[in-house]
């Protein structure tokens, strides 16, 4: 489910007041303050992914406080993972101050008063995790979860962001059980980033391996058309041994070579179907998708889709307009 709200739907003179109410409804009970006059612009997009809540916010800069009074009125049953998308934002909580640059993560407890602001535009993604779920990944008696910045220079940041991106991209195809397992992995990764994980090494190692596999798979998808993409090359770029790379893929349904082949076939299929590439021959389509040999491309394509590339293209060409695939 996706909820979208924008100040464009409000009269200009009432936009900031309605923004305050929208934040209270869709984010947290907050006290926004603005010193400038004139119409205010802001937009909120909110999605529910199982037990996770993800909210994108883009708005003009202003001061935001979550005061003790706000917490008392509406305490939260979540922790938050804040991902800075563009620009810079600062945070203050319990005497600590940090600045988030694009790509940085801030993890904190909204039931501890804080303030935040920016010199430009707020542009961030806020993931809210159920307190009970994340608390299970934290060390016993770890106390309050005060603000922690996980910067771009830290390895944990890349693992968390790649896992978050994968969740957002693939959640629609996940069963409720798989989605909750993915949420559990996220909690484990966040717990490790906070250096407060329970002393259970196997779950922690498994979470890191899953997240690293997701990063590797994403890179393979982005570079599948490169004919020189080999497991040796990928392993070297990620600082892994070849054996470790293949062990990572044991966590998935496919080996490295199977995943690469399936990705290339999907790319070739999309090119064959797209109106903009109808002038390109089927052999060239195979090369563009990353296949070195035309015979290999044709054989693999038929195994995957039950028809040759040329026959599939002809079949699409003879479809009635309402039957054809729709492309952006």
Give yes or no: residues 199 and 296 share one domain. no
In 3D space, the residue among 235, 159, 258, 261 whose CA is nearest the CA of residue 204 turns out to be 159
Instruction: Based on the fold, state whether residues 177 and 43 are members of the same structural domain.
Output: yes
| Encoded tokens for 27 | 């984010």
Q: Is the pTM of this model over 0.75?
A: no
Same-domain status, 61 and 206 = yes
Which of 263, 241, 243 is CA-nearest to residue 254? Answer: 263
108 and 162 within one domain: yes
| DSSP codes, 172-198 | GGS-HHHHHHHHHHHHHHHHHHTT---
Residue 124: DSSP 8-state: E
Closest CA to 164 of 237, 258, 58, 84: 84
Look up the domain containing 161 and give its range. Answer: 2-222
**Ordered alpha helix ranges (H), 223-324:** 231-237, 242-249, 256-273, 282-289, 294-305, 309-317
Look at residue 129 and give its three-state secondary structure: strand
Tell whether the torsion through CA atoms of 150, 155, 160 and 162 is positive or negative. positive
- The pair of structure tokens assigned to 323 is 């039957």
Indicate the number of domains in the chain: 2
C-alpha to C-alpha distance for 87 and 119, rounded to whole angstroms: 9
Instruction: Enter the tokens of residue 308.
Output: 């040759």
> Same structural domain for residues 161 and 293?
no
Give yes or no: residues 124 and 204 share one domain.
yes
Residue with token string 């802001």: 42
Q: Where are the alpha helices (DSSP H) in 136-230?
A: 155-170, 176-193, 201-222
Q: Are residues 196 and 319 in the same domain?
A: no
pLDDT tens digits in sequence order for the chain, 328 residues long: 789 999 998 999 999 999 999 999 999 999 999 988 788 999 999 999 888 899 999 999 999 999 999 999 999 999 999 999 999 999 999 999 999 999 999 999 999 999 999 989 999 999 999 998 888 887 665 678 889 999 888 888 988 998 898 888 888 777 888 888 888 888 888 888 886 544 545 666 788 888 889 889 989 999 999 999 999 999 998 888 999 999 999 988 899 999 999 999 999 999 998 888 888 999 999 999 999 999 999 999 999 999 999 998 887 655 444 333 333 3
For residue 195, give the CATH number of its domain: 2.60.120.10
Residues 90 and 173 in one domain: yes
Q: Which residues contact residue 137 at a Cβ distance below 8 angstroms, ignoring those fewer than 6 apart?
A: 187, 188, 190, 191, 197, 198
End of a domain among 222, 248, 283?
Answer: 222
User: Which of 222, 249, 279 represents a domain boundary (last residue)?
Assistant: 222
């Amino acid at each position: 489910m996706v909820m979208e709200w924008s100040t464009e739907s409000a009269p200009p003179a009432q936009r900031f007041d309605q923004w305050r109410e929208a934040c209270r409804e869709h984010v947290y009970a907050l006290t926004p303050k603005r010193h400038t006059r004139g119409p205010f612009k802001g937009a909120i997009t909110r999605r529910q992914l199982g037990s996770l809540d993800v909210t994108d916010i883009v708005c003009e800069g202003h001061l935001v406080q979550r005061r003790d009074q706000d917490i008392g009125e509406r305490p939260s049953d979540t922790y938050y993972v804040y991902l800075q998308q563009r620009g810079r934002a600062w945070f203050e909580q319990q005497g600590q101050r940090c600045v988030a640059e694009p790509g940085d993560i801030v993890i904190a407890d909204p039931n501890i008063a804080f303030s935040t602001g920016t010199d430009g535009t707020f542009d961030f993604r806020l993931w809210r995790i159920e307190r009970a779920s994340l608390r299970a990944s934290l060390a016993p008696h770890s106390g309050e979860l005060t603000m922690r910045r996980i910067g771009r220079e830290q390895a944990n940041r890349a693992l968390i962001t790649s896992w978050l991106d994968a969740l957002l991209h693939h959640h629609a195809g996940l069963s409720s059980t798989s989605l909750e397992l993915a949420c559990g992995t996220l909690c484990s990764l966040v717990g490790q980033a906070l250096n407060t994980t329970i002393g259970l090494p196997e779950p922690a190692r498994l979470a890191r391996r899953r997240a690293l596999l997701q990063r590797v798979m994403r890179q393979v998808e982005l570079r599948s058309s490169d004919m020189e993409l080999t497991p040796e090359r990928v392993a070297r770029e990620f600082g892994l041994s070849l054996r470790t790379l293949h062990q990572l893929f044991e966590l998935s349904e496919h080996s490295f070579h199977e995943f690469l082949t399936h990705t290339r076939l999907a790319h070739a299929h999309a090119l064959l179907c797209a109106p903009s590439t109808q002038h390109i021959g089927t052999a060239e389509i195979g090369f563009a998708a990353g296949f070195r040999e035309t015979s290999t491309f044709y054989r693999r394509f038929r195994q995957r889709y039950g028809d040759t590339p040329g026959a599939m293209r002809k079949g699409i060409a003879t479809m009635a307009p309402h039957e054809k695939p729709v492309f952006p």
